[in-house]
């Protein structure tokens, strides 16, 4: 048996659906002799008789009727591929794999996905919550399409794009006496149970310097490298956390509020992209959503 090709099956299907060679030829914009020749070649390839003529009309043989469901499935799959290609081209379907620290993976990213999938319901997301150094490794080795960080880190082999500027905030219970203030600084926070990042981190160092410039010593009673953990401590211990604003975007802590911290301690979240991999349309669209959140929602937290 010689190898089949899609064109032969397309003509076979057209003849079945129209019932005649001439109608199939018109439908496919080919000549009648071309349809007849293709059918003969197909019958020879399959070593099966596919049609019999009855009262001027071509009817399927039982053998052809048995083949037809498989042929229809084939063309159904081809139409699905064509439709999917159209959706991918139009930015309506595809897959986005993201690497980010746990805090961002549990807050900023789900918030952005919620907005994005409203208009792109067929896009599949794969979010990897990783230690910061692993985010860089995953992007470098192409295991994710995009990495998102909120701290500086060596990224010599990657494309890095900062998106907006966020500020550390004071997170506390809405019932806390200090929650009535729009802004909190070292003077207001003196004597309070503070939660923040470790003193060995860049953020911890920036907070220590901010307190020092105001004449106070920064002595957090509790430390964590994870903002969600810090917020949980605030919930349990009635403490005040000096952390990034992303976690409150998740809505997981309805009893907590954020207040501006002065003097400002700025953080600059950034995208990391593999240098050699082109960005898909849906990835570019998703990045725009995150930029919008960084430019609007974070500033509106307090």
Per-residue pLDDT of the chain (302 residues), as tens digits, is 557 788 888 888 888 888 888 888 888 888 889 988 988 888 888 888 888 887 767 788 888 888 888 888 887 777 767 766 676 676 677 889 999 988 888 888 998 999 999 988 888 899 999 888 899 999 988 889 999 988 777 777 889 998 877 889 999 999 999 999 999 999 999 999 999 988 777 788 889 999 999 999 998 999 988 888 899 999 899 899 999 888 887 788 899 999 999 999 888 889 999 887 888 888 999 999 998 887 664 554 44
Cβ distance 270 to 162 under 8 Å?
yes
Give the number of other CB atoms < 10 A from CB of residue 247. 28
Q: Please give the Cα distance from 95 to 83 (Å, whole number).
A: 16
The pLDDT value given to residue 2: 56
The pLDDT value given to residue 27: 87
The pLDDT value given to residue 242: 94
Domains annotated for the chain, with CATH where assigned, are 6-89 (1.10.10.10), 93-165+268-295 (3.40.190.10), 166-267 (3.40.190.290)
Half-sphere exposure of residue 156: CA atoms within 13 angstroms, side-chain side: 0
The count of residues in the chain is 302
Q: Please give the Cα distance from 67 to 297 (Å, whole number).
A: 58
Q: Please give the Cα distance from 249 to 62 (Å, whole number).
A: 63
The pLDDT value given to residue 22: 87
The pLDDT value given to residue 51: 86
The answer for residues whose C-beta is within 8 angstroms of residue 286's C-beta and 6 or more apart is: 96, 112, 116, 123
Torsion of CA 251, 257, 259, 261, to 10 degrees: -70
Q: 117: buried, middle or exposed (CB in 10 Å: 19+, 13-18, 0-12)?
A: middle
The pLDDT value given to residue 170: 95
DSSP for the chain, written as a single string: -PPP-HHHHHHHHHHHHHSSHHHHHHHHT--HHHHHHHHHHHHHHHTS--EEEETTEEEE-HHHHHHHHHHHHHHHHHHHHHHHHHHHHTTSEEEEEEEE-HHHHTTHHHHHHHHHHTT-TEEEEEEEE--HHHHHHHHHTTSSSEEEESS----TTEEEEE---EE-EEEEETTSGGGG-SEE-HHHHTTS-EEE--TTSHHHHHHHHHHHHTT-----SEE-S-HHHHHHHHHHH--EEEE-SGGGGGT--TTEEEEEESS--EE--EEEEESSSPPPHHHHHHHHHHHHHHHTTTTT--
Cβ distance 135 to 272 under 8 Å?
yes
The pLDDT value given to residue 300: 47
């Amino acid at each position: 048996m010689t190898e089949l090709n899609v064109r032969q099956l397309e003509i076979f299907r057209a003849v079945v659906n129209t019932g005649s060679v001439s109608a199939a030829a018109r439908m496919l914009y080919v000549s009648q002799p071309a349809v007849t020749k293709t059918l003969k070649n197909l019958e020879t390839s399959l070593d099966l008789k596919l049609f019999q003529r009855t009262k001027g009309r071509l009817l399927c043989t039982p053998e052809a009727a048995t083949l037809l469901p498989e042929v229809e499935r084939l063309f159904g799959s081809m139409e699905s591929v064509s439709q999917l290609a159209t959706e991918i081209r139009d930015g309506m379907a595809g897959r986005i794999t993201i690497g980010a620290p746990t805090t961002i993976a549990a807050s900023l990213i789900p918030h952005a996905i919620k907005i994005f999938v409203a208009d792109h319901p067929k896009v599949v997301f794969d979010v990897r919550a990783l230690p910061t150094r692993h985010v860089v490794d995953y992007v470098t080795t192409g295991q994710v399409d995009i990495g998102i960080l909120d701290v500086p880190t060596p990224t010599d082999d990657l494309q890095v794009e900062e998106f907006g500027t966020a500020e550390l905030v004071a997170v506390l219970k809405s019932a806390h006496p200090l929650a009535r203030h729009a802004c909190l600084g070292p003077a207001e926070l003196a004597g309070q149970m503070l939660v923040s990042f470790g003193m060995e981190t860049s953020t911890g160092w920036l907070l220590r310097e901010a307190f020092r410039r105001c004449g106070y010593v920064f002595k957090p009673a509790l430390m964590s490298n994870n903002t969600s953990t810090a917020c949980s401590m605030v919930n349990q211990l009635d403490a005040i956390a000096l952390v990034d604003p992303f976690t409150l975007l998740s809505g997981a802590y309805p009893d907590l509020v954020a207040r501006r911290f002065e003097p400002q301690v700025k953080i600059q979240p950034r995208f990391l992209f593999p240098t050699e991999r082109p960005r898909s349309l849906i990835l570019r669209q998703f990045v725009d959503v995150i930029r919008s959140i960084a430019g609007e929602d974070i500033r509106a937290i307090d």
